[in-house]
């Protein structure tokens, strides 16, 4: 017997409708209204940025401090045609690339540890919002036991103080890379730095000095918190570090500023940013890191990777690509 395509389509449609009804029934039912039952005012601002995921027995929560717009004049190795091609592929209008500033809350079960502290009021109104997602995560600043600093740039360290210079995290121990502190406290280096960069030195010293009574310097790769050890990633600054989190057979690497501009630097890892202290070393470190992540298929979290920053590095010919991590928390 021949069956027309229209009857087959009708049968498939009715079957799909029955399956959908069964699914909605199993979910407790769903009523679709023809119009909104009550008007709601527009919020006019984004929701707080906080995203939590499990890493073994730990919980790691990405916290969005805000964002920066990176203009092409800050990009080392920039090529107009290549940059436009990559922006078009990423649906970016204009020449600036907007990058997030992420920090990460690590709950080990025994301690609440903050990986970087955001910006406070140092870099304008688009940044300095870390306490909002921290509150959304159910944590108050006085509950933080330790703050791990990847490096002493404003968007990673300056958030330990509020706009009036008071401690934001009164009970926290501040853990700083020894090599980075030596750099930012070197008067000769500060004296030879461009005028606009001297505020970086002064602010880094002010933030670190406020925690002098509870401050620890780290070097090497031994655990600094149970389940967390440092990973040297020099170049962006001399003491720039990541943090390797290992718990119950799972690993996450918080990689700090291993990259800044995801639309550019996965495809062109030799491109850098003007804030790199040693651009050649930063590039070599980035390429080595990308290669290792792609080979080992280990999840990393980047301070400037697309929020929430969790993802993998995939190979794309002789270049790389960012692969966002899947659903962050099993229900």
Computed over every residue of the chain, the mean pLDDT equals 91
Q: Mean pLDDT lowest for which of 36-45, 131-140, 157-166, 191-200?
A: 36-45
Band the pLDDT of 43: cuts 50, 70, 90.
confident
pLDDT in tens, 87-106: 999 999 999 999 999 999 99
pLDDT score at 45: 80
Band the pLDDT of 18: cuts 50, 70, 90.
very low
Residue 49 burial class via C-beta count within 10 angstroms: exposed 0-12, middle 13-18, buried 19 and up: buried
Q: How far is CA 97 from CA 1, 73, 206, 268, in A?
A: 62, 11, 30, 15
Region 251-273: what's the mean pLDDT?
98
Band the pLDDT of 37: cuts 50, 70, 90.
low
- Given a cut of 70, is residue 321 above it in pLDDT? yes
Region 11-34: what's the mean pLDDT?
48
Band the pLDDT of 36: cuts 50, 70, 90.
low
pLDDT score at 42: 87
∠ CA 309-315-318, nearest 5°, is 125
- Rounded to an integer, what distance in angstroms lies between the CA atom of residue 172 and that of residue 140? 12
Phi/psi at 137 (5° precision): -80, 0
Helix (H) or strand (E) holding 221: none
- Given a cut of 70, is residue 13 above it in pLDDT? no
- Given a cut of 80, is residue 119 above it in pLDDT? yes
Band the pLDDT of 5: cuts 50, 70, 90.
very low
Q: How far apart are the first and last CA of the chain?
A: 49
pLDDT in tens, 53-89: 999 999 999 999 999 999 999 999 999 999 999 999 9
Region 322-331: what's the mean pLDDT?
83
pLDDT score at 234: 98
pLDDT in tens, 285-299: 999 999 999 999 999
- Rounded to an integer, what distance in angstroms lies between the CA atom of residue 39 and that of residue 35? 10
Band the pLDDT of 34: cuts 50, 70, 90.
low
pLDDT score at 12: 45
Percentage of the chain exceeding pLDDT 90: 83
Closest CA to 175 of 198, 199, 154, 152: 152
Region 99-126: what's the mean pLDDT?
97
Pinpoint the alpha helices (H) of the chain. 5-26, 80-89, 131-136, 154-157, 178-184, 187-192, 198-210, 262-265, 279-296
Which distant-in-sequence residues (6+ apart) come within 8 Å of 196 by Cβ? none
pLDDT score at 33: 53
Region 116-144: what's the mean pLDDT?
96
pLDDT score at 296: 97
Q: Cβ(113)–Cβ(225) under 8 Å?
A: yes
């Amino acid at each position: 017997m021949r069956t027309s395509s229209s009857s087959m389509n009708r049968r498939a449609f009715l079957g799909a409708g029955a399956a959908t009804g069964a699914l909605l029934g199993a979910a407790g039912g769903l009523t679709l209204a023809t119009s909104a039952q009550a008007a709601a005012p527009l919020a006019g601002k984004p929701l707080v940025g906080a995203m939590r995921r499990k890493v073994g027995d730990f919980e790691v929560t990405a916290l969005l401090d805000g964002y920066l717009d990176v203009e092409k004049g800050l990009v080392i190795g920039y090529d107009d045609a290549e940059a436009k091609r990559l922006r078009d592929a990423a649906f970016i209008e204009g020449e600036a690339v907007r990058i997030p500033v992420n920090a990460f809350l690590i709950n080990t079960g025994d301690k609440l540890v903050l990986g970087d502290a955001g910006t406070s009021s140092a870099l304008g109104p688009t940044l300095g919002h870390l306490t909002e997602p921290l509150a959304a995560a159910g944590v108050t600043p006085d509950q933080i036991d330790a703050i791990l600093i990847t490096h002493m740039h404003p968007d990673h360290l300056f958030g330990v103080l509020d706009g009036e210079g008071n401690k934001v995290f009164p009970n926290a121990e501040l853990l700083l890379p020894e090599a980075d502190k030596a750099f930012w406290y070197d008067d000769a280096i500060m004296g030879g730095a461009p005028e606009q960069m001297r505020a970086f030195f002064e602010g880094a010293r002010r933030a670190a000095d406020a925690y002098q009574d509870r401050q620890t310097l780290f070097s090497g790769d031994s655990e600094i918190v149970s389940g967390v050890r440092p990973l040297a990633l020099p170049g962006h600054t001399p003491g720039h570090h990541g943090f390797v989190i290992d718990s119950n057979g799972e690993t996450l690497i918080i990689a700090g500023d291993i990259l800044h501009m995801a639309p550019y630097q996965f495809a062109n890892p030799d491109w850098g940013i003007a804030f790199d202290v040693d651009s050649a070393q930063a590039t070599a470190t980035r390429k080595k890191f990308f290669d290792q992540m792609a080979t080992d298929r280990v999840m990393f979290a980047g301070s400037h990777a697309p929020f929430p920053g969790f993802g993998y590095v995939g190979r794309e010919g002789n270049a790389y690509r960012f692969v966002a991590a899947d659903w962050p928390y099993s229900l």
